[in-house]
A and B are shown apart, each in its own frame.
Chain A
């Protein structure tokens, strides 16, 4: 079946540094990927929609300059948290779409836990 891999699964960094999280579709091409953020005991919040070869579309309230999203190929999207601060500590999850738009066939990665000291 379809597999989406996220790397790293856990990362700890110092405040002020930048961290890159990768989301790869391993056995299918994903024209669209979605990035979510999950706070402890809270639901997943959609951050942005990433389309291959074009700029990401950010949800209201999400700082596009802090959360840089790149979708350079049909199998890879990256989320870079720039100048990270402790409040950016969270669980980041990506999903990738396969099939025609509207088919709602989404595959999720296992998530990446970011801790900013």
Chain B
């Protein structure tokens, strides 16, 4: 079945450091890929998405590119802020399973001043 694997956390960074969170997936067909973020005490929020190969999703300085050849969707940000401290989830949905998200385990990111 479909699955998502992302790097374990916590990832601790200093402010203005470069952030990368690796995400790889296994799926049949052409899934849509997502990054969700969960701030403390809040619900998951869609951060960015990509629906086909070579698409780049971007939002709030974060970027991720849908790489079909490596089945990856790594999340990057060039300069993190303390407010980026959160748990980040990589997820996919199969083309015939709209709304049914398959999540990775989540990666906690802690940014220190």
Contact = CB atoms under 8 A, between A and B. Distances in A.
Interface of A: 4, 6, 32, 34, 36, 41-46, 49, 93, 95, 97, 101-102, 104, 106-111
Interface of B: 4, 32, 34, 36, 41-46, 49, 89, 93, 98-106
14 contacts: A42-B105, A43-B103, A43-B106, A44-B103, A46-B100, A93-B44, A95-B44, A95-B101, A104-B32, A104-B49, A104-B93, A104-B99, A106-B46, A111-B43
A108 B43 contact: yes
B40 to A, nearest CB: 10
Contacts of A111: 43
Contacts of B104: 43
Contacts of B106: 41, 43
Given A42-B105, A43-B105, A109 B99 contact: no
Nearest to A105: B46
Contacts of A36: 103
A31 to B, nearest CB: 10
Contacts, number: 53
A43 B98 contact: no
B100 A109 contact: no
Nearest to B44: A108
B64 to A, nearest CB: 16
Contacts of B102: 46
B100 A49 contact: yes
A108 B99 CA distance: 12
A51 B99 CA distance: 12
A6 B41 CA distance: 12
A102 B89 contact: no
